[in-house]
């Protein structure tokens, strides 16, 4: 199977191609002017994971719908698994792995970090998010954290790479009663905010890599 070989190519690509960062983030940002905002003293660091695994003839990664906890600015939103760094985490990659394991029940020993994307500050939650791309060896047996995750949403990599999958919607947020924001339509789900910004950079990176003929097809 060509899957692990492509993952090796993906890992090398993070050294070969510069990340697009804010250039990608601004395309999906609800409030583009806040992308250059400096984190305040109360900001916390966090790690999230784009966890690729093989399914049939494609790679898939899980998104989650967070539980509706009162006071959580991201309640019920679709996001990547992950969370805030704890003192016992020696680095943010381990934070992303630990939090993902707690939220979706994956075996940490099967997770291989293959690269990282640009850091993103989220003013509404005061989180400085560090996104990582990882590969899961074998088939994950997802077990959702009951207090944190309402739903797991598997997304095919080809759906993320599709040409026409961006849609603007007018929504109510914690900072506006009515604002038009862009988002990805992935498997019938509309994904916006920080998750969409991270996924846009990942998509841009993959398209740049695939321009060299390195296709994610795992036949």
pLDDT in 10s for each residue of the chain, 219 residues: 468 899 999 999 999 999 999 999 999 999 888 888 888 888 999 999 999 999 987 899 999 998 765 555 445 689 999 999 999 999 999 999 999 999 999 999 999 999 999 999 998 889 999 999 999 999 999 999 878 899 999 999 999 999 889 999 999 877 777 889 999 999 999 999 999 999 999 999 999 998 865 666 654
The tokens for 94 are 């381990």
Does the pTM of the predicted model rise above 0.95? Answer: no
Rounded to whole angstroms, how far apart are CA atoms 48 and 35?
A: 18
Q: 3-state DSSP call for residue 51?
A: strand
Nearest Cα to 84, choosing from 100, 61, 106?
A: 100
Structural domains in the chain, sorted by start: 3-160+194-210 (3.90.79.10)
């Amino acid at each position: 199977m060509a899957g692990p070989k492509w993952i090796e190519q993906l890992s090398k690509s993070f050294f070969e191609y510069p990340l697009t960062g804010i250039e990608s983030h601004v395309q999906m940002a609800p409030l583009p002017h806040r992308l250059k905002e400096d984190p305040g003293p109360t900001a916390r660091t966090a790690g999230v994971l784009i966890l690729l695994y093989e399914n049939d003839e494609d790679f898939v990664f899980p998104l989650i719908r967070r539980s509706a906890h009162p006071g959580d600015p991201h309640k019920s939103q679709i996001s990547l698994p992950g969370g805030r760094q704890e003192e016992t985490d020696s680095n943010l990659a381990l934070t992303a792995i630990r939090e993902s394991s707690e939220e979706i029940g994956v075996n940490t020993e099967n997770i291989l970090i293959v690269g990282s994307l640009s850091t993103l500050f989220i003013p509404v939650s005061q989180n400085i998010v560090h996104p990582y791309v990882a590969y899961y060896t074998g088939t994950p047996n997802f077990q959702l954290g009951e207090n944190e995750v309402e739903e797991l949403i598997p997304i095919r990599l080809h759906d993320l790479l599709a040409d026409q999958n961006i849609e603007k919607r007018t929504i109510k947020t914690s900072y506006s009663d009515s604002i038009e924001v862009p988002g990805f339509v992935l498997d019938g789900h509309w994904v916006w905010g920080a998750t969409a910004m991270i996924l846009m950079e990942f998509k841009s990176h993959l398209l740049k890599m695939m321009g060299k003929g390195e296709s994610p097809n795992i036949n």
